[in-house]
Amino acid sequence: MRAPTISDQEFALFQRLLSDIAGIHLAPAKKVMLAGRLSRRIRARNVASYADYFKLLERERDELQVAVDLLTTNETYFFREPKHFDFLKTEILPQHPRHRPFRVWSAACSSGEEPYSVAMLLMDQLGPGASWEVLASDLSTKVLEQAERAVYPLQRTNLLPLEYKRRYCLKGVGEHEGMLLVDKAIRQRVRFRQVNLNHPLPAGLGSFDLILLRNVMIYFQMDTKREVVQRVIQQLKPGGYLFIGHSESLHGINSSLRLVQPAIYRKPA
């Protein structure tokens, strides 16, 4: 069965759905992308049109999560935007009192490369005996499951320092050749949780010394950006840092944080 074509009216249904659930704005240019990502589910569920599939989503919560997973999954890789990791290593950690726990939140962790990168750096700089942890969250349950498996293609590890590969990763052999497994000592320091940044945050997240909200706001319209940033920085400790993507800015979004470097902000102490 071939997937049907998607009309402008049907695309508008999914635009509103994704905006309501995740705050993500899909531009008209994303119509082909949306149709492509959902086409396999259209065939698998044997429905005649995208409108019929939309009705199915209204009835079946599990299928709705599948659709959201397909539409919100984005590719990432280890040590993306290396200047952030350099700043964490040379500026943030040396100033942090060693007797205090150091907590990091990777607020849109996708398939897990970002939080594991942070955890490797913290393990290297603070050691296994220090009190530190990484919380990693995403809207998509599919990428969270992938992140918890911690198995990645080697081509997504090009920026991963060689020394970290040797110390904190296991190289696949046989049927797993070309893959990499993050070591258990690192995996145990990263806690995964489903969080929708477009909704009130769940209780019990705690406060953080560093929050990474990188390459997320590019999908939001201005009002949603303001709401999401306000929610997130409420979890930031006084003196804590917020990292955003290098193509992003808080200009016109939030003025309570101090710009330290491009894409790096600090909450007043």
In Å, what is the CA distance from 259 to each residue of 69, 109, 243, 268? Answer: 33, 23, 10, 11
Residue type, 186: I
d(CA 23, CA 16): 9
The tokens of 116 are what? 């594991």
Q: In b/e form, how buried is each residue of 49-66, taking b as 16+ CB within 10 angstroms?
A: ebeebbebbeeeeebbbb
Cβ pair 14, 50 in contact under 8 A: yes
The tokens of 246 are what? 């290098």
Check if 37 is active-site.
yes
Considering the candidates 69, 80, 138, 187, report the single residue annotated as catalytic: 138
Considering the candidates 37, 167, 193, 226, report the single residue annotated as catalytic: 37
Check if 86 is active-site.
no
Residues with catalytic function: 37, 138
